Chain A
Amino acid sequence: MKKRAWILGSLAVLLAGGAIFVEATIGWSMIVGMLRYDTRREGDLKVGDKAPSVVLHEIETGAATQLFDQPPLRPVILVFGSFT
């Protein structure tokens, strides 16, 4: 009985310590956000694949424009991202 209480107590201390550590370092809101909204994926492409022809929009007009419908004349550096 005493042994069981000791194990449970140790577990509780470990859990509490872990919870405090997570809050102090990453933060629980970050963990929850990551679990709910982290949609990182590798995509369908790898090095050596042909870049697919894609349709994007001009920022000012919203007009559709095509990228990689033919090989570029110079190397193209693509930077994916958003404001937030």
Chain B
Amino acid sequence: MELKFSKKEEKFRSELRSWLEENVRTFPIDGSSVPTHLTEDEVELQKNWQRMLYRGGYSGIHWPKEYGGRGASLKEQLIFYDELTRMNAPDITNRLAMHFVGQQHAGPTIMVHGTEEQKKKHLPKILQGEEIWCQGFSEPNAGSDLANIQTRAELKGDKFIINGQKTWSSFANVSDYCEMMVRTDPTASKHKGISFLLVDMKLPGITIRPIVQITGDDDFCEVFFDNVEVPVENLVGKLNDGWRVGMTTLGFERGTAFLQKQLWLQYWVKEAGSLLKDARHKGSIDEKDFDEFVSRLLPLYSEALALKAISYRTIGLMEEKGTPGAEGSIVKIMWSELEQRITRLVKDIKKWQSIFTEGDMGPFNDIWQYRYLRSYARTIAAGSSEIQRNIVAERVLGLPRA
């Protein structure tokens, strides 16, 4: 057991640090920028950061070299996240969320289950920031009960014909591709008749309708499929084996996709501490309030540090075992619920300032107002806290299904 990183890893860190110092400062947005409407300029801006990372050799740290990645270890991936947070850089957990599904879902899933052609076609483009992805999993009647999906894909000759509706699909309105779970055998039992497809979002028959969120963000979408023809070579894994493929995706989501988020929260708590000191200094809170806020902050600090520790521990374990297991659900419960408590604390520290929305930063007075509202999505998206607890109970603790 040790905390120290190897010489090679530390060398990577110091090179990355210089690169970030040079590039974060000159980039127009950072880790505290409030997201804005998805205009063409905004999409271009988000792509630009990814292009810069790619040119710098920092895209896909842990992805194989042959697909455009750096071919480095998971520990270097962790260092990469560590340094991004330290520099308050823009990333997929804040302003650059558009790259999330490609880098954290579709990419890793294609790497595990995809054909060689699929890998060659998509992986480099995801890393270059040129291909944006969305997820087509949830449906109006398949949320927590994901296996209940009804969107049909009928295999006719060398094509799948898709009909149905997907929902809660982030960034579908700017995506090039969608990773989809569809029903290919309606006669089989729930989990058995599902297949996993890669779908070009420009195909005829696809209609996208944005759903405005609590935050006002307009990246969330419903997607309708009306006789959409998808070539058979876009199938990932075997026909009717899509549940297993999809679970790999969710495994990444629960295991490593939010590593960066897990590390961020420690900085958020520290920032809450600074805001608290400022507020005392300016006199906007008195000594009694200050002490109350401190006693709320200290346990959050402990939990955020524990989250960092568990992230470090997970990386070590994953290097031994490969793909993440159901233990990822434990971490998902931890970070999503902690984020809500941290943002609520800051809202309270800011008192009346958290109410007004007349600011120079778009629809929000500041980033913390956005973070507070956003936090309510965390315990729902990527598997609700309740589903995560079921997973922990059934798959880790072996308790019987109801």
Task: Determine if chain A interacts with chain B.
Answer: no
Query: Which A residues are within 8 Å of any B CB, using their own CB?
Result: none
